[in-house]
């Protein structure tokens, strides 16, 4: 498992400097959050990491490769998966087919073998569908597998996106505001899945989020961006008290009210909404001191 090392990343377009010499490192198997006010450059950063935007200068290294010079599908081949801030699912296809797309790079059937209905293509399809159903259960969307995605509620669609990203069996997972627009119960469920994914699959997770409670609870490391520049970096507790960070946020961010969320390190497939009691994940501060 390798680290993601972002060095001196700069992105300029249309006269704006969206990212200004940003650097951070995601340690293997850790959860790293990027936070910052709106317009700070968080999504731009993700788009560079997944190859959608071109960096003006700087470097992103993962698995021994330089990502800034690679097209999106080659980055995906390295094991980098992502979800999108505005849902990027294929509206007319079913949930199952959307998640199956995540298996694309793991499968080999092409035009010839599928066109001729060759048995090995059909067997491969069946194998991967079984795995997709497992992942759907893990994420909690198993009951919607046949439905066209466009018809489902927003919260379900976001989980389908997560399932699709997990279906890639990634080494690094980029989550762009995974709980935006969700209510409290949905957020808890999503957070449980994210933690379980890291625990069971050992993936590194890079997370953009506005929900401070969730960030403080989940993240091992936090990087704070403001106007495209990194203004703070470190463990959540340290960042929370950093005067620069407080200045950037003061008066700007409408902070979400959080119930005390207590998380358990549960087994996969138990990503159900609801408060559970049990051990806290390591490194997270106490639930009670959360209101910011």
**Consecutive H or E run containing 119:** helix 119-139
Round to whole Å and give the CA distance between 61 and 2.
Answer: 10
Q: Binding of other proteins at residue 101 (CB under 8 A)?
A: yes
Sheet holding 80-82, edge to edge: 80-82, 172-176, 204-208, 31-35, 221-226, 229-234
What residues from 231 to 250 belong to the interface with other proteins (CB under 8 A)? none
Q: Which stretch binds other proteins (CB under 8 A): 93-101, 209-217, 236-244, 284-292?
A: 93-101
**Dihedral sign for Cα atoms in the order 261, 265, 266, 268:** positive
Q: Binding of other proteins at residue 186 (CB under 8 A)?
A: no
The closest of 173, 189, 181, 291 to 240, measured between CA atoms, is 291
Q: How far is the CB of 232 from other proteins (least distance, A)?
A: 26
- Letters for 54-83 (x = contact with other proteins by CB under 8 A, - = none) are -----------------xxx-xxx---xx-
Structure tokens at 230: 């990194």
Residues in the chain: 292
Round to whole Å and give the CA distance between 39 and 95.
Answer: 31
- Site size toward other proteins (CB under 8 A) is 50
Q: How far is the CB of 238 from other proteins (least distance, A)?
A: 31
Round to whole Å and give the CA distance between 217 and 1.
Answer: 24
Q: Are the C-beta atoms of 166 and 139 separated by less than 8 Å?
A: yes
The closest of 134, 184, 197, 131 to 155, measured between CA atoms, is 184
Q: How far is the CB of 144 from other proteins (least distance, A)?
A: 13
Q: Which stretch binds other proteins (CB under 8 A): 89-97, 248-256, 274-282, 283-291?
A: 89-97
- Residue with token string 């296809």: 93
Structure tokens at 206: 């890079």
Q: How far is the CB of 206 from other proteins (least distance, A)?
A: 14
Closer residue to other proteins (CB): 112 or 254 = 112
Q: How far is the CB of 60 from other proteins (least distance, A)?
A: 15
Closer residue to other proteins (CB): 88 or 246 = 88
Q: Which stretch binds other proteins (CB under 8 A): 105-113, 186-194, 235-243, 252-260?
A: 105-113
Q: Could you list the residues that contact other proteins (CB under 8 A)?
A: 13-14, 43, 47, 50-53, 71-73, 75-77, 81-82, 84-86, 88-94, 96-98, 100-105, 107, 109-111, 113-117, 121, 125, 146, 148, 164, 168
């Amino acid at each position: 498992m390798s680290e993601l090392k972002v060095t001196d990343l700069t992105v300029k377009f249309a006269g704006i400097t969206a990212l200004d010499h940003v650097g951070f490192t995601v340690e293997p198997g850790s959860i790293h959050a990027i936070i910052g006010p709106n317009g700070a450059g968080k999504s731009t950063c993700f788009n560079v990491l997944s190859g959608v935007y071109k960096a003006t200068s700087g470097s992103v290294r993962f698995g021994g490769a330089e990502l800034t010079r690679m097209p999106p599908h080659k980055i995906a081949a390295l094991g980098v998966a992502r979800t999108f801030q505005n849902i990027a699912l294929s509206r007319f296809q079913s949930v199952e087919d959307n998640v199956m797309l995540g298996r694309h790079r793991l499968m080999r059937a092409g035009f010839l073998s599928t066109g001729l209905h060759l048995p090995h293509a059909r067997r491969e399809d069946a194998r991967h569908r079984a795995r997709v159903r497992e992942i759907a259960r893990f994420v909690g969307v198993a009951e919607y597998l046949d439905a066209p995605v466009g018809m489902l509620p927003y919260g379900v669609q976001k989980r389908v996106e997560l399932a699709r990203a997990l279906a890639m069996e990634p080494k690094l997972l980029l989550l762009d505001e995974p709980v935006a627009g969700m209510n409290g119960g949905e957020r808890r469920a999503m957070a449980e899945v994210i933690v379980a994914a890291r625990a069971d699959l050992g993936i590194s997770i890079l997370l953009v989020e506005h929900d401070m409670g969730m960030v403080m609870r989940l993240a091992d490391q936090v990087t704070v961006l403001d106007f495209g520049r990194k203004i703070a970096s470190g463990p959540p507790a340290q960042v929370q008290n950093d005067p620069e960070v407080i200045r950037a946020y003061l008066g700007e961010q409408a902070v979400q009210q959080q119930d005390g969320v207590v998380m358990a390190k549960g087994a996969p497939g138990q990503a159900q909404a609801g408060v559970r009691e049990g051990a806290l994940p390591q490194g997270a501060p106490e639930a009670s001191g959360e209101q910011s």
